[in-house]
Structure 1
């Protein structure tokens, strides 16, 4: 690698670095995940479109949108950005395709941050979809146009909240000095031409933007999930049978797993970065592994979609068994005739 930045100091401190510290290890991991998750995402798109029964049609569009944003994040992490991060500092190197065509790495970081926030918006969309199917709930979004406006506002906030920080100019040589005080001997990639430092630490505007975005997602998720759980367990209605409620509770638990399992792949590296920041802890091996865990989000997300919901699971099994006559309309673990606006759902 050609050393670009003038703050490079020749040192023997990197002599004992292992392969797991290197960008070669990280790039190999990213590209291996891409070879698995991208074809799997395409197959999952096909499965949702081809296999989703009519009685689950209200979930079809939200699941496709969530999968689209999940695939976008996969591409960002494993192909377009392939970030090499230097926790405990907010610094990194974009080593992917976009890094070779975009001169300002700061905007690559912006695209990556927005992609992560959009996953949270998609989780809210899935929970709101379950919330809207409970007939005992009066305070809910009933009109399609209102729902479109509601999520358009969410999308706008996802793109807007962190924009102000990225519009500010920064002196990279000055910011790099703050990083070198915390990490006296960073990996050699820190001196790459595209290396960028976003924060020196303690800035108010980034803290407010990130906190606001997180609160918006958390508050909406808690409202839809708690309100749904309350009505399914404590609100009585003569027109809604207990078997219908049991089925709705079961499906809500599957949606919760679809949300929670992939989300751990995103939250765990973030929590690690916060720990590293608080304790000034630098371990490039852990940094690389945490980013690969984040990049595995797509693998977990598609696996949950394919194997949690029974029609999809049975469709995958039929492919392995060579059953060409598989018909998802004939496969129902539980069939509930709906009254009012209650949807019938099949799960396993």
Structure 2
């Protein structure tokens, strides 16, 4: 049976759009190749940093070991999600797309993958909240400390419940997909050919749910970042300005150093996330369609976890020291092998 989408593809699209030049990056094959290749490069760095946190964390950092590992694991998991498990092929400025990752091969519905992706990214942001809350909680004279484990448990349970709770309603009103795709052609009359021969998932075309998704997601991000800023301000005040000294100068110096490392660990990857986020917002606001740019935004998100991994290794002294030892060991061993081979050659001569 020939549908209206098929008819549009054979008449309008082939006559007006098929001649448009399409870069390899704009195709799903290009997105898949680049994302999977990036993951192959990133994985050794993820493994090395995980080993550092598990095996090279000194006792003086025991209080932060779990939250540091938690934040690192969420960051790496989200990278793997984008690079390999989901690998989203978006059709911005519309709220549609399809995955080209492993979960698609395994038959996981696109709607479920969308839910997993959004929740995972917000949980990753929550792990950064836990990192700053831990730094704030380690300051004895901080009046905003969460001292009871039960209170902390319910605090993070409330955040996680809010994240899952707000995102479920739009999935209860998913439109009929064939008519929704036809509606989207009014906004993007010349999508890539993948739009017609793949199982594209259209999340919503209803203005109410469109506004709901953007407003509630923006509100959740604002709430999460306001908590990060609050704990960061607490740390700055009690470590740099407070005159009520309860800890020794050495301990304060150590806490200042670790706090600055935590800030770097959060800020540098955040700057890398802002570039694709701002790009997507502008694409949607101006209703501009460019598939190569869409795929570039998806790929850019993957650099967040890689940057976070590098920062963790470089800013925290125990891990940096271990990294230097590993690098210099190979250099020195290579140099010693070269010297021994030179000596042996001289003996032969």
- The alignment's TM-score, normalised by the length of structure 1, stands at 0.86
Asked if 1:99 corresponds to 2:104, the answer is yes
What residue in structure 2 maps to residue 261 of structure 1?
268
Higher helix share: 2
Q: Secondary structure of the residue that 1:84 maps to in structure 2?
A: strand
The answer to which of 3-12 and 128-137 deviates more is 3-12
What residue in structure 2 maps to residue 152 of structure 1?
157
Aligned partners of 2:114 and 2:64: how far apart in 1?
32
Mapping 1:15-94, distance limit 5 Å: 15=19, 16-94=21-99
Asked if 1:10 corresponds to 2:14, the answer is yes
Aligned partners of 2:117 and 2:235: how far apart in 1?
32
Q: For each residue in 1:100-153, what CA deviation from the matched residue of structure 2 results, as whole angstroms up to 9, or x when unmatched?
A: 233531111111111111111011011101100112212211123322232222
For residues 217 and 290 of structure 1, do their structure 2 counterparts lie closer, same or farther at Cα, with a shift above 3 Å needed?
same
What residue in structure 1 maps to residue 134 of structure 2?
129
Q: Secondary structure of the residue that 2:97 maps to in structure 1?
A: strand
Aligned partners of 2:243 and 2:85: how far apart in 1?
51
Give the aligned length: 321
The answer to whether the 8 A contact 1:161-1:212 is kept is no
Asked if 1:169 corresponds to 2:179, the answer is no
The answer to which of 175-184 and 289-298 deviates more is 175-184
Q: Secondary structure of the residue that 1:93 maps to in structure 2?
A: strand
Aligned partners of 1:176 and 1:131: how far apart in 2?
49
Aligned partners of 2:15 and 2:123: how far apart in 1?
42
Aligned partners of 1:76 and 1:238: how far apart in 2?
45
What residue in structure 1 maps to residue 316 of structure 2?
309
**Cα displacement (A) at 1:284:** 1.4
* Runs of 5+ unmatched residues, structure 2: 331-349
The answer to which of 232-241 and 272-281 deviates more is 232-241
- The alignment's TM-score, normalised by the length of structure 2, stands at 0.85
The answer to which of 198-207 and 125-134 deviates more is 198-207
Q: For each residue in 1:163-209, what CA deviation from the matched residue of structure 2 results, as whole angstroms up to 9, or x when unmatched?
A: 12112231222322332112111111212432112133633432343
Aligned partners of 1:298 and 1:95: how far apart in 2?
20
The answer to whether the 8 A contact 2:4-2:182 is kept is no
The answer to whether the 8 A contact 2:174-2:204 is kept is no
The answer to whether the 8 A contact 2:140-2:246 is kept is no
Q: Secondary structure of the residue that 1:117 maps to in structure 2?
A: helix
Q: Secondary structure of the residue that 1:181 maps to in structure 2?
A: coil
**Cα displacement (A) at 1:92:** 1.1
Which of 319, 326, 338 in structure 2 is aligned with 1:319?
Answer: 326
The answer to whether the 8 A contact 2:265-2:308 is kept is yes
What residue in structure 1 maps to residue 336 of structure 2?
none
What residue in structure 1 maps to residue 347 of structure 2?
none
Aligned partners of 1:267 and 1:165: how far apart in 2?
25
Aligned partners of 1:265 and 1:166: how far apart in 2?
29
The answer to whether the 8 A contact 2:110-2:201 is kept is yes
Aligned partners of 1:186 and 1:172: how far apart in 2?
16
**Cα displacement (A) at 1:84:** 0.9
For residues 177 and 134 of structure 1, do their structure 2 counterparts lie closer, same or farther at Cα, with a shift above 3 Å needed?
same
Aligned partners of 2:206 and 2:114: how far apart in 1?
17
Q: Secondary structure of the residue that 1:10 maps to in structure 2?
A: helix
The answer to whether the 8 A contact 1:30-1:78 is kept is yes
What residue in structure 1 maps to residue 299 of structure 2?
292
Aligned partners of 1:77 and 1:4: how far apart in 2?
32
**Cα displacement (A) at 1:12:** 4.8
For residues 153 and 125 of structure 1, do their structure 2 counterparts lie closer, same or farther at Cα, with a shift above 3 Å needed?
same
Larger Rg: 2
What residue in structure 2 maps to residue 221 of structure 1?
228
